[in-house]
């Protein structure tokens, strides 16, 4: 039974206790990172892990776009929604944040307990030897392998910030056939952003930490995600099963709505700001 409510109902439910926050793309849209699952976003076919691993041409195309797009994510800043959750953690109200975003904006805002469920855009892993390197280091290598590439894909007047960027730092660029992707400098293996893609599982240890974080609080607050993927929905199910109140703040329907104690149909950042005033 969905109880549609407003921010006052949400505050009444959360006041006097602690909560864990589960966040998604909707909290980062105010920082200029588009939400490719929101109703007004253009349809997209998300890349799958199998495509990435199985097809060298696909990987070339992917890395070419990522090489342009990641800089945009690198330059974004946290917004009020991120800052509110960090402040509430300082006040002892928020236990921590589980985020489906890979943009690290919760960390930038000062949140200390953050589980990056789907990975992080600033790190790259070798699929053969398992070593990780920073995305900034890879950028230097890709720049050396592809002199002038970024300039070549940005037509007159276009800037990196204008290139369409998806949440996984993938920019839309057509001409990528001349791009030279980099292999692992230690073993020659295939490099992949340390991001969980469709068709790939969140590491078990990370999931267990997230369940523990949910259970360490009195309630669960979901903000800015439609919970279309199981990786996030399972935390709502766990909280509901435990009898923990669940507040969902999202523009539009979510798959967790039937389990929500209070559902606020509104934007994540502005609602969190209003909520913090009432706690
Ligand atoms: Zn390697």
Burial class (CB in 10 A: 0-12, 13-18, 19+), 279: middle
- Determine the distance separating the centroid of ligand 1 and the alpha carbon of 145, expressed in angstroms: 18
Do 262 and 10 contact (CB within 8 A), yes or no? yes
Is residue 126 marked as binding?
yes
Residue indicated by tokens 């070419």: 64
pTM attached to this predicted model: 0.88
Within 10 angstroms of residue 250's Cβ, the number of other Cβ atoms is: 26
Do 214 and 246 contact (CB within 8 A), yes or no? no
Residue 26 to residue 251: CA distance in whole angstroms: 8
- Determine the distance separating the centroid of ligand 1 and the alpha carbon of 184, expressed in angstroms: 5
Is residue 181 marked as binding?
no
Could you tell me which residue, 228 or 236, shows the higher pLDDT?
236
Task: Could you please state the CATH topology (level 3) that the domain comprising 7-278 is classified under.
Answer: Rossmann fold (3.40.50)
- Determine the distance separating the centroid of ligand 1 and the alpha carbon of 183, expressed in angstroms: 8
Mean pLDDT value across residues 91-111 = 96
- Determine the distance separating the centroid of ligand 1 and the alpha carbon of 200, expressed in angstroms: 19
Per domain, the residue ranges of the chain are: 7-278
- Determine the distance separating the centroid of ligand 1 and the alpha carbon of 146, expressed in angstroms: 21
Is residue 129 marked as binding?
yes
Residue 144 contacts by C-beta under 8 Å, 6 or more apart in sequence? none
- Determine the distance separating the centroid of ligand 1 and the alpha carbon of 98, expressed in angstroms: 29
- Under DSSP, is residue 115 helix (H, G, I), strand (E, B) or coil? strand
For 185-231, the pLDDT digits (tens) are 999 999 999 988 888 889 999 999 999 999 999 999 999 999 987 78
Q: Which of 75, 16, 83 is nearest to 268 (CA)?
A: 83
The confidence score (pLDDT) of residue 39 equals 45
Establish whether 77 is a catalytic residue. Answer: no
Of 61, 67, 106, 118, catalytic: 118
The confidence score (pLDDT) of residue 152 equals 78
Residue 39 to residue 226: CA distance in whole angstroms: 10
Strand 19-23 with 219-223, pairing: parallel
Mean pLDDT value across residues 160-183 = 69
The whole-chain average pLDDT of the chain stands at 88
Do 215 and 221 contact (CB within 8 A), yes or no? no
Residue 271 to residue 279: CA distance in whole angstroms: 12
């Amino acid at each position: 039974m969905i109880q549609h409510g407003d921010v006052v109902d949400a505050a009444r439910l959360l006041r006097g206790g602690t909560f864990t926050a589960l966040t998604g793309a909707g909290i980062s849209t105010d920082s200029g990172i588009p939400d490719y699952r929101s109703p007004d976003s253009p349809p997209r076919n998300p890349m799958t892990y199998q495509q990435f691993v199985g097809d060298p041409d696909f990987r070339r195309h992917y890395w070419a776009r990522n090489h342009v797009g990641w800089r945009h994510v690198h330059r974004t800043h946290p917004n009020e929604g991120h800052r509110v959750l960090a402040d509430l953690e300082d006040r002892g109200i928020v236990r921590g944040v589980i985020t489906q975003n890979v943009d690290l904006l919760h960390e930038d805002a000062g949140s200390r307990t953050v589980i990056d469920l789907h990975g992080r855009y600033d790190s790259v892993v070798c699929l053969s030897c398992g070593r990780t390197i920073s995305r900034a280091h890879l950028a230097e290598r890709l720049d050396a392998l592809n002199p002038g590439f970024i300039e070549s894909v940005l037509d007159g007047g276009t800037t990196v910030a204008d290139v369409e960027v998806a949440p996984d730092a993938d920019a839309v660029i057509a001409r990528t056939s001349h791009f030279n992707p980099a292999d692992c400098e230690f073993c020659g293996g295939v490099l992949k952003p340390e991001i969980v893609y469709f068709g790939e599982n969140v590491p078990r240890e990370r999931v267990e930490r997230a369940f523990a974080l949910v259970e360490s609080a009195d309630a669960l607050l979901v903000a800015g995600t439609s919970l279309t993927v199981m990786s996030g929905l399972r935390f709502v199910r766990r909280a509901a099963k435990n009898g923990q109140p669940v507040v969902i703040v999202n523009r539009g329907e979510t798959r967790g709505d039937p389990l929500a104690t209070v559902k606020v149909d509104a934007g994540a950042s502005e609602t969190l700001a209003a909520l913090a005033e009432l706690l």
